[in-house]
Structure 1
Amino acid sequence: MEDLPFLIFWVTSTSISFLSEISIAADTITPTQSISDGLGQTLVSSGQTFELGFFSPGNSKNRYIGIWYKNSPSAVLWVANRENPTTDSSGVLTIAKDGNLVLLNQAQIIIWSSNLSKVAENSVTQLLESGNLVLRDKSGSGSESYLWQSFDYPSDTLFSGMKLGWNLKTGLNRYLTSWKNSDDPTPGEFSYRIDNLGLPQLVLREGSSKLFRTGLWNGVRFSGIALLAKEVFKNYFVYNTEELYYMYENNKNSIITRSTLNQSGLVQRLKWNEGSFEWTVMFTRPNDLCDNYGQCGANGICKINDSPMCKCLVGFIPKSPQEWDVLNSSSGCVRRVPLDCEKGEGFIKIGGVKLPDLLQFWLNKNMSLKECKVECLKNCSCTAYANSDIRGGGSGCLLWFGDLIDIKEFNEGDSIQDIYIRMAASEPGMYLFVISYFLATPSMDSLESD
């Protein structure tokens, strides 16, 4: 019986040791701790909003590390090891000796890593209440102590507080990529990112092919999409020498929303319905046929409320009338009268549009609209011009050369974007406008000449 106290102490100590292995700090992993798939361990953010753990998507048996809203685990927001799953429940997420956050398989082989550029001592991992998984220096707590963060490497979903776009100092580009399918989070064919060419715009692609674009940033909004309801969430667009990104924040005590690029190539804004415990779609991009990239071909304009919706710009005619007769406008339009740089050439103003894509262009942010017109007339290849910024009555100069691609009729309150299309001096439309089945008809006071 003298050995009994020792036995009780040994059993108690063993139990405490076992419990310490399966119970870790609620939102943090230290170098002496880990998350084990086999034990069903997870991290939960301090406010109980987000959870990190292992999961299997759809009908797959592969295992991945992901982050989700705690009250909606089926909607995975971020995946760490998208291309390198574990094949069983032996995976362990821990901090390696070099300070990296790593995922180990059954053979203790690293199959995913935060991949720091240098060794980090005293690093810890924390799931923040924002949903951001950070690897930081143990002695710090602010963003300056972050060594790595999941917000810099989005999967298919953008949610409140995440940045979509560029760190221009480091070259980091944050963008969405679809899952391959519902069973496989491997990056698929679709991407949604900010193009930083002249003026920024969000572009949806399948591979390298453009499917949809928001239109150019004009100082107020992207020229081809509406301003979103401020009572639901606040939108931010930052464009300076250091950063270029879009971000939104859910309003306090408001509904939770997320934007997801799905496997079909649609960008959907979804909201969480507390009553039914399900996600419902608020809106989708592309939203209608006029959102499809180049729907009306070169030098065409898409008007969703007209029938047919595709028309040629003023001064242009269908390149293939036979195709247009059967509502196939993909061949686009050509000039009725070629430009020849003769005196008397002028411009037709078309108001309320999504500006053409920047394929061949020139940009000067300091010019006035009048100076922009003069600059366009100097170059025989210039086909159109517009203000690059519509704030304060307009400023800056955009010139287009060659064909005008992906123009859509679009009016948004007081923030209307105009474009001026160059006309040949001998173009009949310079003197008399005839309403045509195919023509986008301007008003008489929209005529400008040199």
Structure 2
Amino acid sequence: MGLELRRVQLQTMAKITFSIFIIVPTIGLSLATDTLGTNRSISHGETLVSSDLTFELGFFTPGNSSMSYLGIWYKFSPRTVVWVANRNKPIADRNGVLTFTNVGNLVVLDQSNGVVWSSKSSRVLRNPIAQLLDSGNLVLWDSSFSSSDESYSWQSFDCPSDTLLAGMKLVLNLKTGLEQRLTAWKSMDDPSPGDYVHSLNYSQGLPQYEVVQVDRHRKIFRTGQWNGVQFVGLPAGSNPANVPMFVYNETEISYMFEVQNRQLFSTMKLNYLGVLQIFVVNRSKSAMWNVMLAFPSDLCDFYGSCGANAICSSNLCECVKGFMPKSPDEWAVRVFSSGCKRTIPTNCSKGDGFMEIKKVKLPDPLEVTLNRSMSLKECKDECLKNCSCTAYANSDITGGGSGCLMWFGDLIDMRMLEDGKYVQALYLRLSASELGIHTYAS
């Protein structure tokens, strides 16, 4: 099992820098407009173009496929498809049509006039208008009223494919349960939903984003928890091409990014291999996209690559103090997934203590308790009293630190961080003898 995991990791890392922008839409006749009304439809070879000439919408055939899809791509980079409508129902020829129903829904029809995709807008529209905005958002609204975000009855930004654009959200509505996430393509030539998703995990009340292989129920990568300032496992600092914005309140948890430089374009894409990539292009210089970040990109990014109770650093794993490899033979050949076990069991009655580990991506909150009102001192006392508590940390670093996060059981997916400015320290429970604490019999 450990050897197989290592093989998959090496194969994936070798492919990470492989360009995913290989989809070649058929560039056809533009309708020279960004809007579509009930008096016209779009067939294969016709397109809508956003008013600033950035995005284009039309039918395309990906790679070596013979199937046809309605999609949106960059006009200056037509291989870069950012949204696909009929992912689950491709059209077998080039006779697809985008048009309206009599209640104002956008629909894609196949050669026999069967509906292969519908916008399923929230209300009946008397005078429907579909518009491709400069943001890449395809919106549907009623021309009987003024156009605004509030008046859109449907928008493609609410239905992500495999790509996040500037101004687009990955969101979890805490009241309705509505979730928007990225789903990878099945292959380079097949836009249907693939094996990997990038979504928010909020199961323990601590938001973190994850890449998960759905069919195997296996985590590939996680950002680490939100600590009030950032997701602890992501690089700190801002970039004009990708300025992250995170909302966390009683109504919703959402992530989006903005671009401050008008010459820069950026996308976040989950490719069919399960690699989350952030691309950037400077249009004033070229139309060449460059990979700015990729996750996972090394051994330490892969979820649980070092197994339990170990820390990953510089592509190597090390058992934390007080632990030793469970399988020394595997560790000798750099197969670390078996993890580590304690060298000396803890013993509450003899006075355990804690060791501070700085600049660390905190373990995955699998078996944890969270108390947002406790101080770090109160957290330590509470963990010390509970013999099953293996580690603790502040849950929030703002205002000098607050909240109590306690782990029970093994500690999974830790790594050392280069920048420790906005991260918590982890306090690991060890036996008195490991810490050099002298105890006396009563």
Query: 2:358 touches 2:420 (CA, 8 Å); kept in 1?
Result: no
Q: In structure 2, do the counterparts of structure 1 residues 170 and 125 end up closer, same or farther at CA, with 3 Å as the change threshold?
A: farther
Q: In structure 2, do the counterparts of structure 1 residues 170 and 250 end up closer, same or farther at CA, with 3 Å as the change threshold?
A: same
Write the mapping of 1:325-364 to structure 2, written as runs, cut at 5 A: 325-364=332-371
Q: CA offset at residue 118 of structure 1?
A: 5.0
CA distance in 2, matches of 1:170, 1:41: 38
CA distance in 2, matches of 1:145, 1:318: 59
CA distance in 2, matches of 1:32, 1:231: 42
CA distance in 2, matches of 1:297, 1:119: 54
* Count of residue pairs the alignment pairs up: 405
Whichever of the two has the greater Rg, that structure is 1
Write the mapping of 1:51-450 to structure 2, written as runs, cut at 5 A: 51-116=56-121, 119-138=124-143, 139-197=145-203, 198-207=205-214, 208-274=217-283, 275-304=285-314, 309-425=316-432, 427-431=433-437
Q: CA offset at residue 345 of structure 1?
A: 1.4
Q: CA offset at residue 117 of structure 1?
A: 5.2
Query: 1:95 touches 1:124 (CA, 8 Å); kept in 2?
Result: no
Q: CA offset at residue 202 of structure 1?
A: 1.2
Query: 1:157 touches 1:260 (CA, 8 Å); kept in 2?
Result: yes
CA distance in 2, matches of 1:23, 1:154: 24
Q: CA offset at residue 25 of structure 1?
A: 7.2
CA distance in 1, matches of 2:420, 2:80: 35
Normalized against structure 2, the TM-score is what?
0.87
CA distance in 2, matches of 1:249, 1:328: 40
Q: In the alignment, what sits opposite 1:44?
A: 49
CA distance in 2, matches of 1:129, 1:258: 14
Q: In the alignment, what sits opposite 1:6?
A: none
CA distance in 2, matches of 1:224, 1:234: 16
Structure 1 counterpart of 2:227, one-letter code: N
CA distance in 2, matches of 1:118, 1:166: 23
Query: 1:232 touches 1:254 (CA, 8 Å); kept in 2?
Result: no
**Match of 2:153, SS?**
strand
Q: CA offset at residue 64 of structure 1?
A: 0.6
Q: CA offset at residue 228 of structure 1?
A: 4.4
CA distance in 1, matches of 2:421, 2:223: 18
Q: In structure 2, do the counterparts of structure 1 residues 326 and 286 end up closer, same or farther at CA, with 3 Å as the change threshold?
A: same
Query: 1:384 touches 1:419 (CA, 8 Å); kept in 2?
Result: yes
Residues 362-405 of structure 1: CA deviation (Å, up to 9, x unaligned): 11111111111122123221111000111121111111100000
CA distance in 2, matches of 1:377, 1:405: 21
Query: 2:263 touches 2:282 (CA, 8 Å); kept in 1?
Result: no
Residues 332-374 of structure 1: CA deviation (Å, up to 9, x unaligned): 1111222332252111110000000011011111111111112
CA distance in 1, matches of 2:319, 2:73: 47
Q: CA offset at residue 302 of structure 1?
A: 0.8
CA distance in 1, matches of 2:262, 2:31: 30
Query: 2:123 touches 2:153 (CA, 8 Å); kept in 1?
Result: no
CA distance in 2, matches of 1:238, 1:343: 45
Identity %: 54
Structure 2 counterpart of 1:137, one-letter code: D
CA distance in 2, matches of 1:106, 1:155: 24
Q: CA offset at residue 413 of structure 1?
A: 4.9
Q: CA offset at residue 121 of structure 1?
A: 3.5
CA distance in 2, matches of 1:146, 1:413: 43
CA distance in 2, matches of 1:44, 1:204: 32
CA distance in 2, matches of 1:168, 1:143: 21
Q: In the alignment, what sits opposite 1:8?
A: none
**Match of 1:256, SS?**
strand
Structure 1 counterpart of 2:105, one-letter code: N
CA distance in 2, matches of 1:246, 1:355: 20
Query: 2:359 touches 2:420 (CA, 8 Å); kept in 1?
Result: no
**Match of 1:370, SS?**
helix
Normalized against structure 1, the TM-score is what?
0.86
Residues 25-72 of structure 1: CA deviation (Å, up to 9, x unaligned): 7112222321122xx221111222111111000011211111111111
CA distance in 2, matches of 1:420, 1:413: 15
**Match of 2:243, SS?**
strand
CA distance in 1, matches of 2:102, 2:175: 30
| Structure 2, gaps ≥5 residues long | 1-28
Residues 307-331 of structure 1: CA deviation (Å, up to 9, x unaligned): xx21111111222223223322211
Residues 407-434 of structure 1: CA deviation (Å, up to 9, x unaligned): 1011325213200011223x333449xx
CA distance in 1, matches of 2:30, 2:290: 35
CA distance in 1, matches of 2:154, 2:436: 59
Query: 2:184 touches 2:194 (CA, 8 Å); kept in 1?
Result: yes
CA RMSD of aligned residues (A): 1.9
Structure 2 counterpart of 1:64, one-letter code: Y
CA distance in 1, matches of 2:388, 2:126: 59
**Match of 1:174, SS?**
coil
**Match of 1:191, SS?**
strand
